[in-house]
Chains A and B, each alone.
Chain A
Amino acid sequence: MTATATPTRSGPVPSDRHVVPTGATWLARDTWTEATRHLTATRRNPELLVFATIQPIMFVVLFVYVFGGAIQIPGFASYEQFVVPGIFAQTIVFGSAFTGIGIAEDMSKGFIDRLRSLPMYPSAVLLGRTFSDLLRNIFTFFIMLIVGLFVGFRLEGGLVDAALATLLLLAFAYAFSWIQALIGLSVKSVETANSAGFMWMFPLTFISSAFVDPSTMPGWLQPVAEHNPFTIVTNATRALYNGYDPGMDVVWSLVWAAGITVVFAALSFRKFTSNSK
């Protein structure tokens, strides 16, 4: 008895095995299939899970208890109301580095070539990867939120504002996944993807309003911190979590997130296809 390779029924299956189905549904299905590959792997891979849970817990706890006594920010009842949104933003933006590392790993092991030789939508390779990273980031976010609530952080702005702030953070992290995707596609090894992926995120996240008020920084550094898109998204989400008026920061954060996504997704897709030149 042999299981036949030829589909026998109509429905969501092409009638001929050589006919390549097209359309948005199939793109979504290919993307989801690719995403489940990474989600299954993440579940199995304790190191990744540890990074996704322990590391954010440590960050919240360390910052709140180590710096909490020393730092007071005018306008905030406590340091945790100020810093926890910053840690949210930093952690999930850092989490985007795994997009690049994962892509570099798939490339170095020849798995990307395997996928490129399949009749799937080629774009689903990158869409599936970034989508699975978005889901992982959501998981990480909720772990951090629970720990944040434990150490005294409160959603002063109400649930709607908090939900909006969270969506903003996730949109930003998704945008950064595409920067990392381009890095992962451009480098030659997993090690390079690792260092190239993390290196620039330290200055990006620290020269910002995430942990301290930029007005305490040296004069020459202040404009850098103030115009840093990471500052803008941190300010927007911090205001929303604390029930302050975020002003135009929400709009500008969305513009940044959309802009980064469009530009770097386009560059990544181009890089992905140009490997065949």
Chain B
Amino acid sequence: MPAVIADGLVKSFGDTEALRGVSFEIERASVLCVLGPNGAGKTTAVRILTTLLRPDAGRAVVDGIDVVADPRGARARIGLTGQYAAVDERLTGFENLQLVGRLFHMRTAQARSRARELLERFSLTDAGDRAVKGYSGGMRRRLDIAMSLIADPSVLFLDEPTTGLDPRSRLQMWDVIDGLVADGTTLLLTTQYLDEAERLADDIVVIDNGSVIARGTATQLKSASGGDRVEVTVSDRDDVDRVPVVLAGSLQAGVEPVLDHAARQATLPMSSTDHVVPRVVRSLDEAGIDVVDVVVRRPTLDDVFLQLTGHRAENDTDADDDDSTSAAVPEGAAR
């Protein structure tokens, strides 16, 4: 039996339909990533599965327990780390952990030893007896996850664990999550970032406007969205139009190249990315086009969305500012 079953979840807030029948399952010791832009319904789904919201319709089962019928039973089996680090900043890291342990009905001695163990595991031992008020954003998130793990949950829910983190803390967070995966934790992770889903997840469910619009592995989703792209910058703006013509033989059918004359850039879907940089440079050289830069980039959430829904992910203001997908390199998403 899967660790998590979401079966036809429906939830409305007033006139807004947040979820319109979302279904997925998570196998034990695997990682499912729920991918979607802001407002897609990711958090609503997590809140239903973690008993914080009651679904209007549908069934949610965690570790064999129906979350609506037995919410406290379900709560004993889950860990939740929400979008904001839910730590009491007036207390120390150790006190936060001990508090949660006691509210999981551990004996005091047991809660204390578990707290020390988790502080060590999340590299917080030195900060453990300081008030959380002085912690950095990354430290708070680590403490938050440690608090979710105190009772060894059957399923851990991480709602956008890297949103709002600087790139370095984000990488640290990925290491933490890698560690959880290595330990065999069953994990549901939501994110707005395809690279994060690709890096961490076994399976991905893409949701938009409260519905599942695609599911599969990262490779399956990316090939559905047109595969890798090559971004060519040339020195002469008049050469931009010539780039797709010269490279016509290597382009993937069915996906339009994006030409940005102002930036002197052409973004092209490639049928194969083997030796792509030497091939592109050689062909353009032979055609007498002066190439400034060639970048191979993987499809972003934007690309996946564009392909699946015909509209942009509209996941953040940065994406709105970009008229062309060419600027949305994966690193750019790590804000």
* Contact across chains for B76 and A18 when beta carbons are under 8 A apart: yes
Query: From DSSP, what is the main secondary structure of chain A's interface residues?
Result: loop
**A3 to B145 Cα, complex, angstroms:** 18
Inter-chain contacts of A111 with B (CB < 8 A): 86-88
Asked if A5 meets B114 with Cβ closer than 8 Å, knowing A44-B90, A113-B52, A116-B51, the reply is yes
Q: Is A40 an interface residue (CB 8 A)?
A: yes
A3 vs B147: C-alpha distance in the bound complex, in angstroms?
15
Q: Tell me the bound Cα distance from A12 to B102 in angstroms.
A: 12
Contact in complex: A114, B105 (CB < 8 Å)? no
Of the stretches A78-86, A117-125, A150-158, A211-219, the one at the interface is A117-125
The CA-CA distance from A40 to B95 in the complex, in Å, is 9
Query: In the bound complex, do residue B102 and residue A276 qualify as a contact, i.e. CB atoms below 8 Å apart?
Result: no
User: Is A109 an interface position by the 8 A CB rule?
Assistant: yes
Asked if residues B52 and A116 are in contact (CB atoms below 8 Å), the reply is yes
A246 located at the interface, meaning its Cβ lies under 8 Å from any Cβ of chain B in the complex: no
Are the CB atoms of A5 and B152 closer together than 8 Å? Answer: yes
Q: How long is the Cα–Cα vector from A7 to B63 in the complex, in angstroms?
A: 20
Q: Are B152 and A117 in contact (CB under 8 A)?
A: no
| Distance to closest chain A CB from B87 (angstroms) | 8
Question: Any chain A CB within 8 A of the CB of B235?
Answer: no
Which residues of B are found within 8 Å of A21, using beta-carbon distances? Answer: 105
Q: How far is the CB of B93 from chain A (nearest CB, A)?
A: 13
Say yes or no: is A59 at the interface (Cβ < 8 Å to chain B): no
Among A2, A18, A109, chain B packs the most CB atoms within 10 A around the CB of A18
CA distance A136 to B117 in the complex (A): 33
**Which of chain A's residues 90-134 have a Cβ closer than 8 Å to chain B?**
109-111, 113-120
B83 CB within 8 Å of chain A: yes
Contact A37 B88 (CB under 8 A): yes
What residues on B are CB-neighbors of A109 within 8 Å?
84, 86, 89
CB distance from B237 to the nearest CB of A (A): 49
Please, how many angstroms separate the alpha-carbon atoms of A13 and B137 in the complex?
35
Is A227 part of the contact surface with B, judged by Cβ < 8 Å? no
- B89 contacts across to A, CB distance below 8 A: 109
Within residues 258 to 277 of chain A, which ones have a CB less than 8 A from any CB in chain B?
276-277
A13–B82 CB distance below 8 A: no
Chain B residues 69-85 with CB under 8 Å of chain A are: 72-73, 75-78, 80, 82-85
User: How many angstroms from the CA of A182 to the CA of B88 in the assembled complex?
Assistant: 21
Please name all residues of chain B whose beta carbon is closer than 8 Å to the beta carbon of A44 when the two chains form the complex. 90-91, 131
Return A257 CB to nearest CB of chain B, in Å. Answer: 30
Contact with A along B78-116 (1 / 0, CB 8 A): 101011111111110001000110111111001001101
Sample 17 A-B pairs with CB under 8 A, ordered by A number: A2-B117, A7-B106, A7-B107, A17-B104, A17-B152, A18-B73, A20-B76, A33-B102, A37-B95, A114-B100, A117-B51, A117-B52, A117-B78, A118-B75, A119-B104, A276-B54, A277-B54
| Chain A residues engaging chain B, CB cutoff 8 angstroms | 2-3, 5-7, 11-14, 17-21, 26, 29-30, 33-34, 36-37, 40-41, 44-45, 109-111, 113-120, 276-277
Q: Apart from A6-B152, A41-B88, A110-B83, what 19 extra A-B contacts exist at CB < 8 Å?
A: A7-B110, A13-B105, A13-B110, A17-B152, A20-B73, A33-B99, A36-B99, A37-B88, A37-B99, A45-B90, A109-B86, A110-B86, A111-B88, A113-B82, A116-B52, A118-B75, A118-B103, A118-B104, A119-B73
Closest 3 CB pairs of A and B: A41-B90, A5-B152, A114-B86
